[in-house]
Amino acid sequence: MIAPLALIGLIALPIIVAFYMLRLRRRDVPVGSTFLWQQLIRDVEANAPWQRLRFSWLLLVQLLIAAIVVLAAARPFSTVESDLGANVVLIVDTSASMATRTDDEDRMNLARERASAVVERLPVGGRITVVAAADTADVLVSETDDTDAALEAIDGITATQLPGDLTDAFALSSALAQRDADSTIVVVTDAAGDVLPEVGVGAPVLVERIGSTNANQAIAALSALRRAGGAQLDLFVAVSNPSTLQATRRLEVYADGALVDARELTIPAGQRSEALISTVPGAARLVEARLAGSDALITDDRAFAVVPADETTRALLVGGGNAYLENALALLPRLELYAVDEDGYPDAIADADEAGTPYGLVVFDGIVPDEPPQVPALYLDPDADGAFGTVDGRIENPVIDRTDPDEPLLRFVDLSTVHIGRARELGMAEGMHSVVETTGGDPLVAVGEVDGRRIGLIGFDLGESDLPLQVAFPLLMSNLTEVLLPAVEGILPSSMRLGESASVAVDPRIERILVTNTGTPDLPGATDVGVEVSAVGGRVTIPGADLVGLREVRALSELPELDGARLGQTAINLFSADESDVTPGDPQRIIEMGRVTSGDEPANQPTRSEWWWPLALAALALLAVEWLLFHRPTRLRLARAFGQRPQPLGGRAR
């Protein structure tokens, strides 16, 4: 099949022939003899109008070029079957793992090539929507039949530093698919751990999976703990190696831009190595950890921590006395610990409030008060229902299930050797989530936020376990304290993940704030970005950051004393095990998001397979041949270049 109007160009063929047959007008020149001028005589004869056409290679090549160019302009094509519907939603994954790049693989380039190939397979008269998806969905082209516009949009797609979440992309695709029963959703992705919605879509889903390498290591955790007295910082760093080979990486630590520590870490395949670094000066305000060298993904090779000012919080321990618990809490430099029994709890709270020194954290050991405190609380072995949920009975000899090593609460905590005699059977209130569970799914350690108050929970008596004898115990108590009392620098926590938003309180006189993200120069997409956000009623919602680096918040106000004041600073890190594990995943879980409502496989649609591009290549090749035939000096130079020497008259040279 062709576009017939383009065949009008075939009129060029007889015109070319006519040019060869028309007489060339030249002036007569008298000569003494025509013996040596036979060629001139033949030219004179040939120049008579409309003489018999003689064979010429140049004419033949020119006719072929003209015919091929006209045929290419006619856009010949054949009809083939396409596995796509008439309405296609093309989702291109732009999450952090799609920035994977090695000497042999550029994952984002591969994604653009696969996406362009999908556009080329679009059925005749089909429409396409192009969506770029990281943690949210960005529609680049909506329901267009202009393939050039779709290809241009695809060429502009780049990878982000954000963790992947296809929930919004599939919600959008589902809405578009409902408009047309003949719809297909195509996802171009490495399937490396993107979050998927719980509900599928009413259209078939195809996956173009890309990527092959898994050679990546990442900084999985970074936190700074100030020692008592504030003279020194203890820095905890975890480096993960999700690849299938053991790796040795050089870890470098910088304090306020100066190198303070460097060491080699050997990380076994599929595991992580942890380091406790005590060489960071106590006066440091910004700490950075770097993995020197290169791997498949550079976004997770750097992490930052803002060290908050040295402040303490009054904490009240309520219970019958537990030496292990008292010692673990007393060692935490952020806490100023006080203890009281159950009967003295109400008076202790009232006296502290009256003195203007309220407690910022209350720890209940085996006790649940009638009224929960208005501050963060930690419950150990609760004996009754409380704000955390319900107590439904006992569990004998519970076995701890495998835990998530990337859970912040379990940072540097190994519970694999902990034994528990018995634990409470607990039901979690809304807002609570289990961090450590039994093999039967019962919660043992949980955290959450209920009615605006942070709550921690350990569902067993420390005396009925060997946890207090483990190295994990003081680390777990430190992490629980950090979760319940997050260290802040102004109105922001000292560290946040990419894409994480925060709702914070500000001075009611402040109407707007300026949020500035300072990206790391050698990471993809790094730049300084400032965004103004409105404050309403003394609260403001700060949107999630999309760059690894630092984030700063300043006030914008008509009042000189408030305008430009820094309200907070935080470090932005990736810290995503799914994105750092760049191994291409199983696309089947994404394919299963789709379903065909009729219960039958959709019929293939006709699409065009065009031939114009090989014809264009052939025309270019013939054009080069024509030039060589016409330009004799070039032919001679080429002959000399290829080593052809002139032969002597009379035979072979000796």
pLDDT digits (tens, 9 = 90+) for 11-34: 766 766 666 655 454 566 676 665
C-alpha–C-alpha distance, residues 194 and 22, integer Å: 71
What distance in Å separates the CA atoms of residue 93 and residue 97, rounded to the nearest whole number? 9
* pLDDT at site 491: 78
User: Quick one: 80-213+582-609 is in which CATH superfamily?
Assistant: von Willebrand factor, type A domain (3.40.50.410)
Encode pLDDT of 390-400 as tens digits.
999 999 999 99
Of the given ranges (117-131, 488-502, 622-636), which has the lowest mean pLDDT?
Answer: 622-636
Q: What is the pLDDT of residue 603?
A: 47
Do residues 341 and 335 make contact, with C-beta atoms less than 8 angstroms apart? no
Q: Among 67-81, 115-129, 201-215, 478-492, whose mean pLDDT is lowest?
A: 67-81
Q: What's the CATH class of domain 492-573?
A: mainly beta
- DSSP-assigned beta bridge partners for residue 284: none
- How many other C-beta atoms lie within 10 A of the C-beta of residue 16? 13
Whether 632 shows a pLDDT value over 80: the answer reads no
Give the other-Cβ count within 10 Å of 230's Cβ: 12
pLDDT of 122 reads 85
- How much is the pTM? 0.67
Any idea which residue has 């709702």 for tokens?
Answer: 503
Q: What is the mean pLDDT of the chain?
A: 83
Does the structure show a pLDDT above 90 at 267? yes
Phi then psi dihedrals of residue 303, to 5 deg: -145, 155
CA angle, 483 then 488 then 489, to 5°: 165
Task: Output the six-digit token pair for 492.
Answer: 């922001």
For CATH 3.40.50.880, list the domain ranges present in the chain. Answer: 313-486
pLDDT of 553 higher than 70: yes
- Flag whether pLDDT at 61 surpasses 80: no
Q: Count Cβ neighbours within 10 Å for each residue of 526-539 and write b for 16 or more, e otherwise.
A: beeeeeeeebeeee
- The secondary element (H helix, E strand) that includes residue 167 is helix 167-179
Spatial neighbors of 539 by CB under 8 A, at least 6 apart, are: 503, 504, 505, 506
Identify which of 643, 654, 649, 631 has the alpha carbon closest to the alpha carbon of residue 58: 631
Q: CA gyration radius for the chain?
A: 37
What tens digit of pLDDT does each residue of 383-434 get? 999 999 999 999 999 999 988 766 778 877 888 889 999 999 999 999 999 9
Q: Six-digit token pair at 388?
A: 């955390």
CATH superfamily for 313-486 is: Class I glutamine amidotransferase (GATase) domain (3.40.50.880)
Model pLDDT for residues 563-574, shown as the tens digit of each residue: 888 888 899 999
Joined together, the tokens standing for residue 453 give: 């108050």
State mean pLDDT over 5-16: 66
Contact 188, 114 (CB under 8 A): yes
Read off the DSSP letter of residue 177: H
- Distance (Å, whole) CA 366 – CA 381: 5
Decide which of 4 and 360 is more confident: 360
Across the range 31-54, mean pLDDT stands at 60
> Other CB atoms closer than 10 Å to residue 199's CB: what's the count?
10
List, for residues 147-177, the tens digit of each pLDDT value: 999 999 999 999 999 998 999 999 988 888 8
Give residue-wise pLDDT tens across range 72-101.
Answer: 777 666 555 667 888 899 999 999 999 999
Q: What pLDDT is recorded for position 117?
A: 92
Q: What is the pLDDT of residue 598?
A: 44
For 479-533, the three-class secondary structure string (H helix, E strand, C coil) is HHHHHHCCCEEECEECEEECCCCEEEECCCCCCEEEEEEEECCCCCCCCEEEEEE
Tokens of 312: 């303490």
Band (pLDDT 50/70/90 cuts) for residue 616 is confident
Q: How far apart are CA 227 and CA 229, in angstroms?
A: 6
∠ at Cα 315 (312, 318), nearest 5°? 170
Nearest Cα to 97, choosing from 549, 519, 580, 545?
580
225 contacts 310 by C-beta, under 8 angstroms: no
Work out the average pLDDT over 576-584.
91
Opening angle at CA 120, ends 115 and 121, nearest 5? 95
Pair of tokens at residue 638 = 């080429």
SS3 536: strand
d(CA 459, CA 471): 19
Residue 208 in this model has a pLDDT that exceeds 70: yes
Tell me: pLDDT of 443 over 50.
yes
Residue percentage of the chain with pLDDT more than 70: 81
Give the Å distances, CA to CA, from 349 to 314, 338, 361, 362, 367: 11, 11, 11, 10, 15
CATH 2.60.40.10 maps onto the chain at 219-307, 492-573
| Arithmetic mean of pLDDT, 207-232 | 82
* All residues at 6 or more sequence positions from 99 whose CB lies less than 8 Å from its CB, including other chains: 107, 108, 159, 160, 161, 297, 298, 299, 524
More confidently predicted of 6 and 139:
139
Q: How many CA atoms lie within 13 A of 627 on its CB side?
A: 8
Please count the CA atoms within 13 angstroms of the CA of 349 that sit on its side-chain side: 17
E strands in 5-152:
77-82, 87-93, 127-133, 137-144
Judge whether 304 and 287 are in contact, CB under 8 Å.
yes
Check residue 529 and give its pLDDT: 66
> Which carries the bigger pLDDT value, residue 128 or residue 224?
128
Give the pLDDT score at 45. Answer: 55
Tokens of 163: 């963790």
**Domain 219-307, CATH number (from 3.40.50.740, 1.10.10.10, 3.40.50.300, 2.60.40.10):** 2.60.40.10
Q: Which of 327-341, 449-463, 486-500 has the lowest mean pLDDT?
A: 486-500
Residue 160 and residue 249: Cα distance in Å, rounded?
A: 25
Cβ pair 46, 17 in contact under 8 A: no
Find the distance separating the first CA and the last CA of the chain, reported in whole Å: 62
Tell which residue, 93, 82, 105, has the closest CA to residue 207. 93
- For residue 602, pLDDT over 50 is answered with no
Burial 232-253 (b: 16+ CB within 10 A, else e): bbebbbbbbbbbeeebebebbb
